[in-house]
A and B are shown apart, each in its own frame.
Chain A
Amino acid sequence: MTLDTVAHAAKTPDTEQPWAELGLKKDEYERVREILGRRPTGAELAMYSVMWSEHCSYKSSKVHLRQFGEKAPETDALLVGIGENAGVVDVGQGYAVTFKVESHNHPSYVEPYQGAATGIGGIVRDIIAMGARPVAVVDPLRFGAADHPDTKRVLPGVVSGIGGYGNCLGLPNIGGEVVFDACYQGNPLVNAGCIGVMKHEDIHLAKASGAGNKVILYGARTGGDGIGGASILASETFDDAKPSKRPAVQVGDPFQEKLLIECTLEAYAEKLVVGIQDFGAAGLSCATSELASNGSGGMTVTLDDVPLRDSTLSPEEILMSESQERMCAVVEPEKVARFLEICEKWDVIATVVGEVTDGDRLEIFWRGEKIVDVDPRTVAHEGPVYERPLARPSWQDALQADDANKLARPADADELRAQVLRLVSSPNQASKAWITDQYDRFVQGNTVLAQPEDSGMVRIDEETNLGVALATDGNGRFAKLDPYAGAQLALAEAYRNVATSGAKPLAVSDCLNFGSPEDPAVMWQFSEAVRGLADGCLQLGTPVTGGNVSLYNQTGDVAIHPTPVVAVLGVIDDVTRRTPVAFADEGHLIYLLGDTEEELGGSAWSQVVHDHLGGLPPKVDLERERLLAEILISASRDGMVDAAHDLSDGGLIQALTESCLQGGKGARVVVPDGADPFVLLFSESAGRAIVAVPRSEELRFTDMCGARGLPATRIGVIDGEEIDVQGQFSIPLSELKDAHEATIPNLIA
């Protein structure tokens, strides 16, 4: 086959090209031809097709995501905003924290172990590309029904992949979620988040500037794995009729990634790097076009110099390969030798593959011939943007009318007791220790709180005890009932979880998991969720710093529940003041903060007892959330509470069960006058938390709540070895523990 050079392409305008197979639409292909003034070469077609895929270009979501910028709250905390590899937040004392959540959903369904492993690898490289040392990871996960046979294939693979890769990198896994729902059967959601820490002056950006500066590719050799992963895997709906997509999933080598982290940080420390970009989706196409596009000039790249694992790869394949553990640095010529020396010290292969030019073209050469000659901005930033049609689904009204508050409730105390046990042992409410015990939560020696705490917390300064907390939450059932409210409830829950731990919420990242954007109903869900999240962040004063959109999460015509996963980052001045979930001290008083309404729509109870999804989700009151957070943070700082736990799925009884089991102490609960025990225990009203207050602090604490106008109801005391709800039932801790802990091992192990 003759090499498809730029010159050849100009001479052969009528050559048929496989644009459709590469995932481009007809009009997109026409636009590429228009931009270039000729047909693209094979290599150019490969680049445009991956960079213009949904996964890389956000072409369907962009018009909505703009709201995160337009509605951004005023804040001094944001050092780097949306558009870079990850946002950066000022946490004080000269420290900056970068964090982000990404999806690796489709690859994890095809090949659970490698899909999940490389998801961790990708997010960690995003964080190092900002100049930061990664300090922790979290994993929000969603699987199909817990008792479905395929869940037994997907879940253990995903968990081993996260553990196998993350543990080997030396990053503590401090949080996340595990949710089961039949809607994720063919589309598990494997999201991964990472936090990194640096000093303000160490922030790095993906930018190639300074003509004559060298472009250095370092890390793993380039192989045939993951070719077309971005365009084909992430941007199309699974269809059983098509051939296996296994070769499109990348294979990870965490050892190589660990070397990459250390070697990159050492190069930063010596100030050797002008600009840097990780290789994620779309590999070399993405890294070179983004670096050049963000910089002031152009770039030339000699593909022959790229170290290969497979010498038979074509130039198109080299450009599209998603081989893991690779990065690209822009380095001044006089610093190249030292950069290469550091790579050699860490046994990392590093090669100069190109140069920044003062032109405005990205030119790529192969065997001495020019095979790419493009304006990098048209590849990286000026892809198609769609205003997809959107329409409120025809079934939405009927779904909301199917009121969960009307479902049959327990007839007597015995049935109430039985339903409590069913709830705390249901897969979503049961202990996830079987999963999280496969992750290293201790490494780096700074973990203050880790799952199953409300948020993960790490110390970032040993002298001052400054720390950061991260919580991720999302409830697809709520979002299905009302995507606007569902997104706000996810935000509210993560915000609350950071505050219950004693940290002040600062900023937000998100991972928006939805079905096909070509379905107007899905697009409506997406637009509502983004609007809800943007409005909510504005109201709470927590800017969105970046995030990720994962579309086409559907099998055939059936989309997953709309699942916006929200991560909230918080800061705590002194981690010794953190508040754990566990009830540890007998005699301390249990207070319920906030108002409990009759709100069972989308609740865990309605799912577990009635297999029901309908009605409206709990009301959102973000001003109340803010007040609750302020009270929780003050109480933690001033030593007024010893334990705190947010109330979310499963309601009060779930929170009590978790706090009691973790502390190994029981609770005597009194139902307040006029309250319905069932509603008290199972309602999922937002804006609530339970706290344990030492008797000596009771007056001070209730005075504070009273003065600030936060309802605080004394509902019991930590005592004994059972949860006793006066006049209703009592369950020994041992029985609760068995129910809560046996479920996941029985289903999965």
Chain B
Amino acid sequence: MTRIGVVTFPGTLDDRDTQRAVRVAGAEAVPLWHRDKDLKQVDAVVLPGGFSYGDYLRAGAISRFSPVMETVIEQARGGMPVLGICNGFQVLTESHLLPGAMLRNESLHFVCREQKLRVENAGTAWTADYSAGQEIHIPLKNIDGRYTADERTLDMLEAEGRVAFRYLDVNPNGSQRDIAGITNEAGNVVGLMPHPEHAVEPLIGTAGTDGLGFFTSILKKLVAA
């Protein structure tokens, strides 16, 4: 069975939800502990949402130095698929696996809503089950979610098709160019602020199952490989 690791840092909140999403998609969820460098031979890793280390200093800034991240960073550079959701996205930018940074929401408030997104890049390891231009609804909840980068980086991301998701209708946090998520050049590392793991069962919330595609995409890719 395909093994997908889900990292727990102190202060991680959505780890069990993410494990459930992995299981719903049909893969085996493998809990990974922040102090442990061993990735237990997983085929891919998800860094879930939450407030790792209380978001103290800066969201993701402490977690990136944890032992588990040493291995994650090394293997991600070698092509292992990594998905960072919300706080996980923040950890990925702090780790320089993805460019840019997150600022406090423009409203200065925490925001929790069902968010409409457009899938801009359906070619990554985590988005192959979507089609480019597809519109999906996924819950979003954050206080430091305003994606920011310098103009040159933003232009590069746009030119290389590395803006993976964009907010539609409402930009909930004031991110530049309505960016909700991005990918690295190779398409194996993806980070986004909204929470696909909260949209994998029809009953929960009212967002439907639009988030399941993240987990089925990676599963198909790994099974095919």
A 146-172 contacts with B by CB, 8 A: 160, 163-164, 167-170
- Once the chains bind, are A443 and B111 in contact (CB under 8 Å)? no
- Once the chains bind, are A254 and B54 in contact (CB under 8 Å)? yes
Interface flags for B3-21 (1: CB within 8 Å of A; 0: not) read 0000000110110110011
User: A436 — which chain B residues lie within 8 A by C-beta?
Assistant: 112
Instruction: Knowing A170-B13, A442-B195, A442-B205 are in contact, say whether A255-B109 is a contact too (CB < 8 A).
Output: no
- Once the chains bind, are B20 and A170 in contact (CB under 8 Å)? no
B 103-141 contacts with A by CB, 8 A: 109-113, 139, 141
Write the chain A residue with the least CB distance to B19: A445
Q: What is the interface residue range for chain A against chain B?
A: 20 to 34
Interface flags for B183-225 (1: CB within 8 Å of A; 0: not) read 0000000000001011011011100000000000000000000
- Once the chains bind, are A255 and B51 in contact (CB under 8 Å)? yes
Nearest Cβ distance between residue B203 and chain A, in whole angstroms?
6
Interface flags for A431-456 (1: CB within 8 Å of B; 0: not) read 00000111111111111100000000
Write the chain B residue with the least CB distance to A580: B206
Instruction: Knowing A443-B141, A459-B203 are in contact, say whether A347-B10 is a contact too (CB < 8 A).
Output: yes
Instruction: Knowing A255-B51, A347-B10 are in contact, say whether A164-B112 is a contact too (CB < 8 A).
Output: no
- Once the chains bind, are A440 and B54 in contact (CB under 8 Å)? no
Nearest Cβ distance between residue B86 and chain A, in whole angstroms?
10
Let me know if A575 is at the binding interface, CB within 8 A.
Answer: yes
Write the chain B residue with the least CB distance to A436: B112
- Once the chains bind, are B204 and A438 in contact (CB under 8 Å)? no
A347 to B9, CA, bound (A): 11
Let me know if A70 is at the binding interface, CB within 8 A.
Answer: no
Let me know if A598 is at the binding interface, CB within 8 A.
Answer: no
A 454-490 contacts with B by CB, 8 A: 459, 462
Pairs across A and B, CB under 8 Å, 29 listed: A160-B109, A160-B110, A163-B110, A168-B13, A168-B51, A168-B54, A169-B13, A254-B51, A256-B54, A258-B11, A258-B13, A258-B51, A259-B10, A437-B111, A437-B113, A439-B112, A442-B112, A442-B139, A442-B195, A442-B204, A443-B13, A443-B14, A444-B17, A445-B20, A445-B21, A445-B201, A447-B204, A448-B203, A459-B203
Interface flags for B47-70 (1: CB within 8 Å of A; 0: not) read 000110111100000000000000
User: A255 — which chain B residues lie within 8 A by C-beta?
Assistant: 10-11, 51, 53-56
A507 to B143, CA, bound (A): 36
Instruction: Knowing A447-B204, A448-B203 are in contact, say whether A438-B197 is a contact too (CB < 8 A).
Output: no
- Once the chains bind, are A576 and B203 in contact (CB under 8 Å)? yes
Nearest Cβ distance between residue B208 and chain A, in whole angstroms?
13
Let me know if A253 is at the binding interface, CB within 8 A.
Answer: yes
- Once the chains bind, are A448 and B112 in contact (CB under 8 Å)? no
Give the residue of B50, B110, B197, B205 whose beta carbon is less than 8 angstroms from that of A170. B50
A437 to B10, CA, bound (A): 25
- Once the chains bind, are B17 and A440 in contact (CB under 8 Å)? no
Nearest Cβ distance between residue A662 and chain B, in whole angstroms?
10
A448 to B203, CA, bound (A): 6
B 6-53 contacts with A by CB, 8 A: 10-11, 13-14, 16-17, 20-21, 50-51, 53
Nearest Cβ distance between residue B63 and chain A, in whole angstroms?
12
Let me know if A268 is at the binding interface, CB within 8 A.
Answer: no
A167 to B143, CA, bound (A): 10
A576 to B202, CA, bound (A): 9
Write the chain B residue with the least CB distance to A575: B203
A79 to B217, CA, bound (A): 46
Write the chain A residue with the least CB distance to B52: A255
Q: Which residues of B contact A (CB under 8 A)?
A: 10-11, 13-14, 16-17, 20-21, 50-51, 53-56, 109-113, 139, 141, 143, 195, 197-198, 200-201, 203-205
A 109-143 contacts with B by CB, 8 A: none
Supplied contacts A167-B110, A459-B204, 10 more A-B pairs, CB within 8 Å: A163-B109, A168-B55, A255-B54, A259-B10, A437-B113, A441-B205, A442-B204, A443-B198, A445-B198, A448-B204
- Once the chains bind, are B203 and A445 in contact (CB under 8 Å)? no
- Once the chains bind, are A440 and B110 in contact (CB under 8 Å)? yes
Nearest Cβ distance between residue A454 and chain B, in whole angstroms?
15
User: B139 — which chain A residues lie within 8 A by C-beta?
Assistant: 442
Instruction: Knowing A163-B110, A255-B53, A255-B54 are in contact, say whether A440-B141 is a contact too (CB < 8 A).
Output: yes
A440 to B112, CA, bound (A): 6
- Once the chains bind, are A462 and B54 in contact (CB under 8 Å)? no
Nearest Cβ distance between residue A322 and chain B, in whole angstroms?
20
User: B56 — which chain A residues lie within 8 A by C-beta?
Assistant: 255
User: B197 — which chain A residues lie within 8 A by C-beta?
Assistant: 445
A 403-443 contacts with B by CB, 8 A: 436-443
Instruction: Knowing A164-B110, A255-B53 are in contact, say whether A447-B14 is a contact too (CB < 8 A).
Output: no
Give the residue among B16, B111, B141, B143 with the most A Cβ atoms within 10 A: B141
- Once the chains bind, are A167 and B141 in contact (CB under 8 Å)? yes
A67 to B204, CA, bound (A): 40
Interface flags for A565-576 (1: CB within 8 Å of B; 0: not) read 000000000011
User: A459 — which chain B residues lie within 8 A by C-beta?
Assistant: 203-204
The 3 A-B pairs at the shortest CB distance, nearest first, are namely A255-B54, A170-B13, A445-B17
Nearest Cβ distance between residue A634 and chain B, in whole angstroms?
21
User: B53 — which chain A residues lie within 8 A by C-beta?
Assistant: 255
Let me know if A19 is at the binding interface, CB within 8 A.
Answer: no
Give the residue of B10, B14, B16 whose beta carbon is less than 8 angstroms from that of A346. B10
Write the chain A residue with the least CB distance to B53: A255
- Once the chains bind, are B110 and A445 in contact (CB under 8 Å)? no
A168 to B55, CA, bound (A): 9
User: B11 — which chain A residues lie within 8 A by C-beta?
Assistant: 168, 255, 258-259
Nearest Cβ distance between residue A602 and chain B, in whole angstroms?
33
Nearest Cβ distance between residue A276 and chain B, in whole angstroms?
21
A370 to B10, CA, bound (A): 39
A437 to B112, CA, bound (A): 5
Instruction: Knowing A168-B51, A255-B53, A442-B141 are in contact, say whether A447-B205 is a contact too (CB < 8 A).
Output: yes
A443 to B203, CA, bound (A): 14
Give the residue of A254, A440, A444 whose beta carbon is less than 8 angstroms from that of B16. A444
Give the residue of B14, B51, B109, B195 whose beta carbon is less than 8 angstroms from that of A438. B109
Write the chain A residue with the least CB distance to B107: A749
User: A444 — which chain B residues lie within 8 A by C-beta?
Assistant: 16-17
Nearest Cβ distance between residue B62 and chain A, in whole angstroms?
11
User: A254 — which chain B residues lie within 8 A by C-beta?
Assistant: 51, 54
Write the chain B residue with the least CB distance to A662: B206
Write the chain A residue with the least CB distance to B198: A442
A164 to B54, CA, bound (A): 11
Give the residue of B17, B55, B113, B201 whose beta carbon is less than 8 angstroms from that of A443. B17
Give the residue among A160, A253, A443, A575 with the most B Cβ atoms within 10 A: A443
A437 to B20, CA, bound (A): 25
User: B55 — which chain A residues lie within 8 A by C-beta?
Assistant: 168, 255
Write the chain A residue with the least CB distance to B139: A442
